[in-house]
Chains A and B, each alone.
Chain A
Amino acid sequence: MTAQRISGAGTESLLELHFPARADRMVMVRDSVRSAARYCGFDEQTVQDIVLAVGEACQNAILHAYAGCAEGSIVVAMLHGPEGLILRVTDFGQAIDPAAWKPRDLGDLRPGGLGIHFIQELMDSADFAPAPGGVGNVLLMTKKRA
């Protein structure tokens, strides 16, 4: 399933959050995403999975696209369609090479590098879309209704 397939007729915007790319804002963001996922009727396990995937996507933006720069911002958008949920995480930082965006070998025990693996395991799809004006990154994720 791709974002294109579940967008279109019957798709409604659930929420759009604009916030500074700072770790101390993530509790608030997760609370909102959790509420929206519950509103869509996902079971509690799936709600937790969606929250984790969005958290990891934002963490990637904070750590890599902005690389610790305190001035960045992130936009999280959630759209609800008949087939499921579309999650769009946009940043305006340094472009991430989609080819380099792949999970590390799990057999290599070291701190870090698990975020991409979690997103790919938990979501039905996760792909970069062209960034508006060629600035930043747009990660589109989908979660199909069970």
Chain B
Amino acid sequence: MSQTIREESGKTVVELGGEIDLDRAPHVRRILLDCVARGRDLLVDLSQVSYIDSSGIASLVEALQSAGKGGTAFGLVAVSPQALRVFELARLDQVFTIHPDIDTALKAAG
């Protein structure tokens, strides 16, 4: 699994790649909750995610809820087909804000 974190246009952008499973989900959870705690809007790019399971999804749900409590925006960007399939199975594709690409995400309000 890979990750990069950067600041862009006043938002935090996290790019996750590879396989997010029970082994890696705690690491992803820590990264995302740390980023949410910075108090900026958070965008999570999932374009390079080749596998995600229920534990990976749980990390993203927890970060979404934490952002909601803190009043910051949380969006997913360029979700890979493999990951999107899992979000759809969990009916979470309607719960998360999903942007088609990073430019659109950065321009989006909130």
Contact = CB atoms under 8 A, between A and B. Distances in A.
Interface of A: 23-24, 26-27, 30, 45, 48-49, 51-52, 55-56, 59, 62-63, 106, 109-115, 117-118, 121-122
Chain A to chain B: the 5 pairs with minimum beta-carbon distance, closest first? A111-B58, A23-B23, A114-B54, A23-B22, A115-B54
Contacts of B59: 111
B33 to A, nearest CB: 11
Nearest to B50: A48
B80 to A, nearest CB: 11
B15 interface: no
Contacts of B95: 109
Given A30-B19, A49-B85, A114-B58, 19 more contacts: A23-B23, A26-B21, A52-B86, A55-B51, A55-B53, A56-B54, A59-B21, A62-B22, A109-B61, A110-B61, A112-B54, A114-B54, A114-B90, A115-B54, A117-B90, A118-B53, A118-B89, A121-B89, A122-B89
B50 to A, nearest CB: 9
B61 A48 contact: no
Contacts, number: 65
A112 B62 CA distance: 9
Q: How large is the interface on B (under 10, 10 to 19, 20 to 34, 35 or more residues)?
A: 20 to 34
Given A27-B19, A111-B61, A118 B54 contact: yes
Interface of B: 19, 21-23, 51, 53-55, 57-59, 61-62, 65, 82, 85-86, 89-91, 95
A48 to B, nearest CB: 6
Contact of A55 (B21, B57, B62): B21
Interface of B, helix, strand, loop or mixed by DSSP: helix
A109 B90 CA distance: 10
A27 B82 CA distance: 16
Given A52-B53, A114-B57, A115-B53, A26 B85 contact: no
Nearest to B64: A109
